Amino acid sequence: MTSSELWTRTTAERYDAEETEMSSAAVLGPTLDFLSELAGDGRALEFAVGTGRVGVPLRERGVPVAGIELSEHMAAVLRRKIDEDMLPVTLGDMATTVVPGEFTLVYLVYNTLSNLLTQDEQVECFRNAARHLAPGGRFVVELGVPPLRFLPPGQVAVPFDVSERHLGFDTFDLVEQVLVSHHLTLDREDGRYRRDRSRHRYAWPAELDLMARIAGLELERRVAAWDGAPFDQNSSKHVSVWRKPA
């Protein structure tokens, strides 16, 4: 077991309803285009496949997809959408769990790498990706850039969403390199706000490049979004591609 926090049954059941924007065609279209091009005629493996937000439509595009998922409750929601023989899922952590076969693509989306709360575990995740990749295969990670430039002296929190139904802000432990995401979400049924929080280990792109090098992978490409926009000093996230030498 890794340090990742487990998704409960309640959280898994409401996940899709609360992530409708991330499941929209505007978000998923460029994501699927990017991943399917890299997968080519080979197989893809999604670390932390969750409820299948990306894995299921990628499989529907004709890419053979397998998944690793820590939460049995998230995997159970996915299983209602697609059969095991179409998208097999192995329960386990993404740092050490091994599934059969080789893949041309291993990918991690939506900041999921940060669920691993230690540097050692994040390094092992890169090693696990390399372990599954065929020569010439790629490992793709989508991850936010730590918004520390918005932290003036004495400030400990940065808001990331202020909307009608949701208030979200991150607090930072700069020594441990851990952030805590706080959420206040309006429940449509009873009109009350629900409070949730989750811990994440943030990492800079350069640190990830070193993790990749330790795992025997080489940086091939880094962009600011799935549509290929250039990555620069103002980018709030990155999509990075590392390649296993042929």
- The Cα angle at residue 178 between residues 177 and 182, in degrees rounded to 5: 150
Q: Report pLDDT digits (tens) over 91-143.
A: 999 999 999 999 999 999 999 999 999 999 999 999 999 999 999 999 999 99
Each domain of the chain, given as residue ranges in start order, spans 9-145+203-243, 148-198
> Residue 123 has what DSSP assignment?
H
Identify the band that residue 1 occupies on the pLDDT scale cut at 50, 70 and 90.
low
| Cβ–Cβ < 8 Å for 186, 169 | no
Q: How far is 26 from 6, CA to CA, in rounded Å?
A: 29
CATH number of 9-145+203-243: 3.40.50.150
Task: Output the pLDDT for position 169.
Answer: 92
Q: How far is 180 from 234, CA to CA, in rounded Å?
A: 22
| Cβ–Cβ < 8 Å for 230, 201 | no
Q: Report pLDDT digits (tens) over 98-109.
A: 999 999 999 999
Strand partners, 114: none
Q: How far is 87 from 81, CA to CA, in rounded Å?
A: 10
235 burial (CB, 10 Å; 0-12 / 13-18 / 19+) is middle
pLDDT > 70? residue 187: yes
Across the chain, mean pLDDT equals: 93
Task: Output the pLDDT for position 141.
Answer: 98
Identify the band that residue 222 occupies on the pLDDT scale cut at 50, 70 and 90.
very high
Between 99 and 14, the higher pLDDT residue: 99
> Residue 87 has what DSSP assignment?
S
Task: Output the pLDDT for position 215.
Answer: 98
pLDDT > 60? residue 163: yes
